[in-house]
Amino acid sequence: MATNELRELYQEVILDHSKSPKNFKELDDASHQSQGHNPLCGDRLTLYLSVVDGVIKDVGFKGAGCAISTASASMMTEALKGKTEAEVDVIFGAFHDLVTGKVAEADADILGKLAVFGGVRDYPVRVKCATLAWHTLRAALAKAEEAVSTE
């Protein structure tokens, strides 16, 4: 795919998920929960997970943030359902490496639709926006008491 086509797809997906985020909900039966904050642009979210026998059965988030932060949380929640904690670690690593520029190309087999976030690496200041939900996810799975901050 040409660079311009990728950039357009990136922008389209970000806008779609930021305007109509998926899984934007609290979970009454959440077994795991964590809060995240990006002081740089004010993004805040609470992530809710229902984990049963090591598998994420349901996931939701609430909060407010920039388009990239909201879209990342939305797409992350879609990607997590039905995954084991070990699978989530692999996806986290691949996503983080992609958006921070540690790898030049996404591993489509691991990331699927999340590969569109490869465009974030072109805007280093936005990496924290894209990874906030992911770091909050790791804190929730670890049952960390303190809120996650990107600073």
Assigned domain for 151 exists: no
Q: How confident is the model at residue 143 (pLDDT cuts 50, 70, 90)?
A: very high
Name the one residue in this structure whose structure tokens are 């609430």: 62
Assigned domain for 150 exists: no
pLDDT above 70: residue 4: no
What is the number of structural domains in the chain?
A: 1
**What are the DSSP calls for 42-91, one per residue?**
TEEEEEEEEEETTEEEEEEEEEE--HHHHHHHHHHHHHHTT-BHHHHHHH
pTM of the predicted model as reported, rounded to 2 decimal places: 0.92
pLDDT above 90: residue 123: no
Residue 105: its pLDDT value, please?
A: 84
Assigned domain for 139 exists: yes
Assigned domain for 113 exists: yes
Q: Letter for the amino acid at 20? A: S
Average pLDDT over residues 10-35: 93
Assigned domain for 106 exists: yes
Q: Letter for the amino acid at 96? A: H
List the domain range (segments joined by +) for residue 55: 3-145
Convert the pLDDT of each residue in 39-93 to its tens digit: 988 999 999 999 999 999 999 999 999 999 999 999 999 999 999 999 999 999 9
Overall residue count recorded for the chain in this entry: 151
Sign of CA dihedral 115, 148, 81, 15: negative
Q: Specify burial of residue 139 (Cβ count, 10 A radius: 0-12, 13-18, 19+).
A: buried
Assigned domain for 87 exists: yes
- What CATH number does the domain containing 139 carry? 3.90.1010.10
Assigned domain for 88 exists: yes
Q: Letter for the amino acid at 131? A: T
